Structure 1
Amino acid sequence: DHFKGWLWKWTNYIKGYQRRWFVLSNGLLSYYRSQAEMAHTCRGTINLAGSFIVTEDSHNFMISNGGAQTFHLKASSEVERQRWITALELAKVKATRLAESDDSSDEDSLVSEMEKNDLRITLRSLVGKLDDLETCNDLISKHGGALQRALSDLESLENNLISQNDSSTLSSRIKTVNERATLFRITSTAMINACSDFLQLAQTQGKRWHKSIVHEREQRLRLEETVETLAKQHNTLERALHAGTGPPRPDPGSNDKDNKSKQSDEAASDDEDEFVDASDKGFTTEFVKEHRKTPSTASSSSIEQNGSSIAPVASDEQDKIPGMNVEKRVRRKRIKDKPNYSVNLWSIMKNCIGKDLSKIPMPINFNEPLSMLQRLGEDLEYSSILDRAEKCSTSQEQMAHVVAFSVSMYSTTLYRTGKPFNPLLGETYELDRRDDLGFRVICEQVSHHPPAAAMHVDSVNKSQSSGWSYWEEITLVSKFRGKYLNVTPTGVVHLKFHKSGNYYTWRKVTTTVHNIIVGKLWVDQSGDAEVVNHTTGDRCKHKYFPYSYFSRETPRKVSGVVVDAKGLAHYVVSGTWDAQMDCAKIVTVNNANKSKPLYKTLPSKKLWQTHPLPVGAEKMYFFTDLAVTLNEQEPDVAPTDSRLRPDQRTMEEGNWDLANDLKQRLEDAQRGRRRRREAETAAKKAMGQEVEPYKPVWFEPKKCPFTGEITHVFKNTYWDRKEAKDWSDCPTIF
């Protein structure tokens, strides 16, 4: 459990592997730049309990806890690497047992002293019987060898005496053999009796222990059921609280102005009485309430910040977008309830461990009736944050809003454990919500292996030299590790505000789905993120804290600091990715502790808060109001649109058996098209002809001037083609 030595640790692409001094002690692996640093500075530590160790090649290996901590290490030789692997595996087993013993300490305290004494007596008896068996085994070996030698001597002597006619010597030797055989028989009988006693004692105690284990298992199951029931009750109360504190919804069939004024007065009085505690120390408890915007309403209140106000976005009273002939349409509020289909999870998952799930055919029993392209569109549920961000007076204040928007994307994943459909190559999805949410989206699957999707979003007022545009190309790398599933997005998110010219980029963090095989599924986000404003040099490094039973941090916590190009801190942003984000302007900074400076701030202001889930969401895959409308039938969409995908539509309607058959046919057809493309490519290469890669219809690859990465950007032709109803360039994929 105690091991130390030099290893090479991967730091970044510039410095590569750096030599570090590693110390393994008490289930913790820590590293330092040198041995002298052990007295004062630890550069990093990873807990081996619950972590996994992967051997990459003869010298390299990796250690990760499934969250933000991952060590990529390299030893000087294969022998040295194997010594570390052995020490780490032993330490991991001890650390896991120690954690389990800590968890069960309360249960152990309930065992009576009498039961402990019985256990000790039984163990001593078993140990004594084992000693008897070992003694008998030694005697049997000794007497058996002597008997074998006596028989050999007797045989050789018998041959000699037959030729000499001497019977006296033969009789004495026969007597010796009989004595040896008697001793061997006595010892064998003792061995058999000791084995019988040991077996009888072990069987008796085994039955008692089996009953105790069954009893403990039943108690644990009852405890889990109780905890689950309490969690459901807590969730119900939380939703009721959110629903009760939200703004009152007017009756759609009522046009009475008096009722409207009365409702507005009640909402104002609610605003005066509501207070919420800030999430970090040093923040006060008061804030100005922000009306939540649902898919059928688009409202926001101005938020006072440092004596200035952030102008509100469009109010609920607007039925049309100014300058545009776009009318509001009535959206659906429900989808068909999820049917109760059973599936043998382990028979499917046991062949998926360590593999990329995007390359494994999975039944729709693990899916939700939305494609990955539609899930990308769902990231814009809280786009009103960007509308407010456009009107901020400073770039640092705008940065705080952009960070809140980047965090809000994960709020819909808290209960969403279903897997979205993998889009087919060339599949598209449009989401035109200019009438209520003020944006429109176009997505396209631009690559199949690796699976990559491109998305472009424009706010409604982009044509007025204001508003914002948002685009990204995302590739999901998913790995199943037995107990949990890691989903790591690769690619950069781009956001541009047209009036100010501020250009932001950031990357998404890792999503982990726990308890894949046993227990209740739950989702967590973890990792470090950084939003950068390439126009002004502002940036915000923030962290998604991984959930841990032993951590004192708030579950699902996110926190960071907004700094300008000179490194001066302006705002602290904090909250949780499943509920809300706040910001507080920094007044003074105490740099006494350079690794973690202390900030004195003004009262915090709420930037974002989640919408309550619709009634009956647990029967509708925990869809939000926006998610319910994503797969709604839409006229005049492209023939490659996800709404027209037959297996997904059939699943939403509840016929899962037919949906599985349709999914298999679509994937087989896609594999056939891929084989034909590969055959054509091979034929062209053999003839010396130039081979062009697959080209998406609505996106094209371009190099980002700020990040230097090649990403697919929108060609701005889709909406014109839709208006002309010209879909001649679309492939046939359904």
Structure 2
Amino acid sequence: QAESDDSGDETPASQAEQTEVQTTLQTLVRKVEDLSTCNDLIAKHGTALQRSLSELEALRLPPDNSERVRQVNERATLFRITSNAMINACRDFLSLAQAHSKKWQKSLQYERDQRIRLEETLEQLAKQHNNLERAFRGATVLPSAPGGKGSSSSRDLSDEDDENEFFDAMEDVPEFITVPADPRYHRRTGSNLSGTSSEGNLEEHFTEDQTPAGCEVTARDAALTRTRRTGIPDKPNYSLNLWSIMKNCIGKELSKIPMPVNFNEPLSMLQRLTEDLEYHELLDRAAKCESALEQLCLVAAFTVSSYSTTVSRTGKPFNPLLGETFELDRLEEHGYRSLCEQVSHHPPAAAHHAESRRGWTLRQEIAIASKFRGKYLSIMPLGWIHCIFGSSGHHYTWKKVTTTVHNIIVGKLWIDQSGEIDIVNNQTGDKCHLKFAPYSYFSRDVARKVTGVVTDAAGKVHYILSGTWDEKIDSSRVMHSSRGENGTEGRHKTVYETLRAKELWRRHKLPENAERMYYFSDLALSLNEPETDTAPTDSRLRPDQRLMENGRWDEANGEKQRLEEQQRLARRRREADSSQAGEQGTTPPEPYRPMWFERVEDSVTKEMTHIYRGGYWEAKEQGDWNR
């Protein structure tokens, strides 16, 4: 386990660094002095040897001896010439080293002082910024988030904690306004014929199932539901200064930074990816929709729901090992099963395939790009997500937004989601544009707001989506639109007349004492529960992850380092084999090939991606994992 650091440790660390620099420079000076001494000795002894040989040659010796002395003298002369060349080179090096050693020392000391001043300035700015935010919160009243009674305790803590900080950007002006439509709105049909319709008839969208996702449990599911665990050992209270580790990682790729398990949660990235299926009921309902636009609304709600578990989850999931897998078989309970595999190590990428008896397939390949920027950490998921409905053939694609972890230096860690998503139906051309607004002090809107517009292929707006990514999503059917007055910067706002909003999704309530269990949801608590007959590469079998879950963090850190070093050795071995084959002109070894996914060109995005090749569940049924 990494030791805890205090802010007071900076001075001894700086002194140690300075001592190390001075020691290195003194060693270099001593080596240069030794080289100078050797230079003088070679010159001295070389001259003496040449003198002795000259005196020996002047003596009267037998002809045979004179010839031998002459040969030795010639060789000594060649040695002297070579030695003189080496002595001159050493003398030049010595002169340069003596001339520049002080410059190098000053330059090194200057860079070190600059780094220390930069760290101190950055930390001081962060503290001042945090104090300003606290003072601002004390002087103003922030708008409360909706859902009062329905809001979870974790959300209250996240919103009201004195150490939280939020974006201080100016308010983002909405591009449209929604107003209630007249219940007796005079509707035009597709043939441009007019007719009057009552509010009841106009609100007959999403009639297949009006129960919000997260609240629906059918009688059949209740009968088949296996008892899953509802808790894990409490998270130990081990403190660790995050800044003491992260300050040397500014601008680096997060996946390449060795981190102790103190910053982790006892789940792998493959398990976190599987958590996207927590609200699978939305896809079950979407599969029953006859209207493509209504189906798109539910797919959009499903997209937003995948972020709901991140609001309090500041722990980093374990980086999967190459070839690691994770299965989630809920076929009998909820009609779906899922498989993830780590298909690449550099860059790290995971492929995911889920299929349901209820008529949908979800697949994705996600690579994580992350950068530490000093005060916050940006996590950018790369890759496409696909959702295909078998009965209609509708094929939806979209990408994920950027996740930002704030208060890396000081304060309480908190997470925000920001960016824009286009969910496209590649068969009909329908599109849903979702916008995740970054939190702003100066916005009158609720925190974590999400807005969306559902349009057909011609660009006509049919539904407006609204809500928050950590609580719920509503949909409102558009009955009429008009151009409003000019907004800021001369932009026109569109005014949409909509029917009463319908709730599509609401977040599950977190389990009791979730704050002591990494803020895991019910699904997350069950993901690392031991299962029988899983593949030997399953994430549940990782010893470091299991040790961390059981609170044995010291052992978990040691096991994590061992596994990561083992993976690095295997990668270096593959690279060495490829390099050796190239030098010898032999056939290079085959590149790493995932077990259950194959890399092909996607027919929709036209990009190379990993798609499930099949065979996993058959291998599990037969108990044969040798492929």
Q: Same fold (TM over 0.5)?
A: yes
In structure 1, how many angstroms separate the alpha carbons of the residues matched to 2:202 and 2:266?
Answer: 42
Percentage of matched positions with identical amino acids: 54
**2 CA distance for matches of 1:502 and 1:424?**
34
- Residue 317 in 1 paired to residue 215 in 2? no
Helix, strand or coil: the match of 1:282? strand
Q: RMSD of the TM alignment (CA)?
A: 3.3
Q: Which residue among 551, 566, 572 is the counterpart of 2:464?
A: 572
Letter in 2 for 1:657: D
Asked if the contact 2:228/2:526 (under 8 Å) is kept, the reply is: yes
Q: What CA distance in whole angstroms lies between the structure 2 residues aligned with 1:551 and 1:402?
A: 28
Equivalents in 1 of 2:153, 2:412: separation in Å? Answer: 23
3-state SS of 1:649 partner: helix
1:549-698 aligned at under 5 Å gives the runs: 549-592=441-484, 595-686=492-583, 687-698=585-596
1:334 corresponds to 2:231? yes
Whole-angstrom CA distance in 1 between matches of 2:131 and 2:545: 46
* 1:506 aligned residue (387, 398, 401): 398
- When residues 357 and 535 of structure 1 are mapped into structure 2, their CA distance, relative to the original with a 3 A threshold, is same
The letter for the 1-side match of 2:598 is E
State the SS of the aligned residue for 1:310.
Answer: coil
CA distance in 1, matches of 2:363, 2:508: 24
Report if the CA contact (8 A) 1:440-1:460 is conserved: no
Query: Secondary structure of 1:435's match?
Result: helix
Letter of the 2:461 counterpart:
A
- Is the counterpart of residue 721 in structure 1 residue 619 in structure 2? yes
What is aligned with 1:238?
151
Residue 309 of structure 1 and its aligned partner are, at CA, apart by: 4.9
Deviation at 1:352, TM superposition (A): 1.1
Residue 437 of structure 1 and its aligned partner are, at CA, apart by 2.8
Residue 409 of structure 1 aligns to which amino acid in structure 2?
S
CA deviations on 1:432-460 (whole Å, 9 max, x unpaired) are: 11233321110000000000000000012
TM-score, normalised to structure 1's length? 0.58
**Structure 1 equivalent of residue 306 of structure 2:** 409
Pair 1:235–1:553, CA change in 2 (3 A): closer
| One-letter amino acid matched to 1:698 | W
Q: Structure 1 CA distance, aligned partners of 2:400 and 2:205?
A: 31
Task: Determine if contact 2:151/2:471 at 8 Å carries over to the other structure.
Answer: no
Deviation, structure 1 residue 692: 3.0
CA shift for structure 1 position 305: 6.9
Cα distance change of structure 1 residues 716 and 596 upon mapping to structure 2, 3 Å threshold: farther
In structure 1, the residue matched to 2:373 is 481
Q: For structure 1, which runs of at least 5 residues remain unmatched after alignment? A: 1-92, 108-219, 243-278, 287-302, 322-326, 462-466, 730-734
Aligned residue identity for 1:400: C
Distance 1:556 1:401 in 2: 19
Deviation digits for residues 255-291 of structure 1 (CA, Å, limit 9, x no counterpart): xxxxxxxxxxxxxxxxxxxxxxxx985259x9xxxxx
Distance 1:494 1:237 in 2: 32
Measured at CA, do residues 280 and 721 of structure 1 come closer, stay the same or move farther in structure 2, by a change above 3 Å? farther
Indicate the residue corresponding to 1:147 in structure 2. Answer: none
Deviation per CA, 1:121-176: give whole Å up to 9, x if none. Answer: xxxxxxxxxxxxxxxxxxxxxxxxxxxxxxxxxxxxxxxxxxxxxxxxxxxxxxxx
- The question of 1:530 aligning with 2:428 is answered no
Provide the C-alpha distance between the structure 1 equivalents of 2:384 and 2:277, rounded to a whole number of angstroms: 16
Q: Which has the higher contact order (CA 8 A, sep 6+)?
A: 2
Partner of residue 355, structure 2: 458
- Opposite residue 316 of structure 1, the aligned amino acid is T
Query: Could you say if the C-alpha distance between residues 695 and 556 of structure 1 is closer, same or farther in structure 2, counting changes exceeding 3 Å?
Result: same
Provide Cα deviations, 1:646-685, integer angstroms capped at 9, x if missing partner.
Answer: 0000000000000000000000100110011111111222
C-alpha distance in 2 between matches for 1:507 and 1:373? 17
Q: Which residue of structure 2 aligns with residue 182 of structure 1?
A: none
Tell me if the contact between 2:466 and 2:474 (Cα under 8 Å) persists in the aligned partners: yes
Structure 2 unaligned residues grouped into runs of 5+: 1-121, 156-175, 184-199, 486-490
Q: Paired residue for 1:705?
A: 603
Structure 1 pair 104–665 and aligned structure 2 pair: CA distance change class (3 A): closer
**Structure 1 CA distance, aligned partners of 2:205 and 2:417?**
34
Residues 1:630 and 1:363: Cα distance change in structure 2 (over 3 Å): same
Task: Compute the displacement of 1:240 (Å).
Answer: 7.4
Q: Residues 383 and 106 from structure 1, CA distance in 2 versus in 1: closer, same or farther, beyond 3 angstroms? A: closer
Following the alignment from structure 2 to structure 1, what is the Cα–Cα distance between the partners of residues 232 and 238? 17
Deviation at 1:690, TM superposition (A): 4.6
The number of equivalent residue pairs is 454
Instruction: Identify if the C-alpha distance between structure 1 residues 660 and 501 changes in structure 2 by more than 3 Å, giving closer, same or farther.
Output: same
In the TM superposition, residue 554 of structure 1 has moved relative to its aligned partner by: 1.9
Q: CA deviation at 1:704?
A: 1.4
Q: 1:494, CA displacement in angstroms?
A: 0.4
- The 3 A distance-change label for structure 1 pair 394 and 340 is same
Q: 1:315 to 1:438 in 2, by over 3 A?
A: same
Three-state SS of the structure 1 residue aligned to 2:594 is: coil
Distance change in 2, residues 1:595/1:499 (3 Å): farther
Shift of 1:552: 2.3
- Contact 2:577–2:588 (8 Å) recurs in 1: no
1:424 maps to a residue whose letter is L
What is the aligned partner in structure 1 of residue 255 from structure 2? 358
| Alpha-carbon distance in structure 2 between the residues aligned to 1:704 and 1:101 | 47
Worse overlay, 527-536 or 327-336: 327-336
1:199-278 counterparts in 2 under 5 A? 238-239=151-152
Q: Distance in 1 between matches of 2:241 and 2:454?
A: 48
- Give the drift of 1:106: 7.3
The two structures have a TM-score, normalised by structure 2, of 0.68
Deviations 1:520-578 (A, max 9, x none): 11100001110000010000112100011122222111111111111111111111000
How many angstroms apart in 1 are the aligned matches of 2:571 and 2:602?
A: 29
Contact 2:511–2:522 (Cα < 8 Å) also in 1: yes
Amino acid at match of 2:443: S
* Residue pair 2:206, 2:294 contacting (<8 A) in 1 also: no
Distance 2:311 2:573 in 1: 41
- Give 1:689 deviation, angstroms: 1.8
Letter in 2 for 1:318: R
Cα distance, 1:102–1:692 mapped onto 2, change above 3 Å? closer
SS of the residue corresponding to residue 560 of structure 1 reads strand
Using the alignment, how far apart are the partners of 1:592 and 1:708 within structure 2?
A: 40
Change (3 A) 1:336 1:283: farther
In 2: Cα distance, 1:685 partner to 1:525 partner: 46
The answer for the alignment partner of 1:427 in structure 2 is: 324
Look up the match of 2:280.
383
Give, in whole Å, the separation in 1 of the partners of 2:232 and 2:332.
22
Most deviating of 497-506 and 585-594: 585-594
Q: Which amino acid aligns with 2:327?
A: E
What is the DSSP-based 3-state SS (H/G/I as helix, E as strand, rest coil) of the residue aligned with 1:591? strand
State whether residues 234 and 517 of structure 2, in contact with CA within 8 Å, keep that contact through their aligned partners in structure 1: yes
Give the Å deviation of 1:310: 3.1
CA shift in 2, pair 1:399/1:664, >3 Å: same
State the alpha-carbon separation in 1 of the partners of residues 442 and 280 from structure 2.
35
Relative distance call for 1:624 and 1:665 in structure 2 (3 A) is same
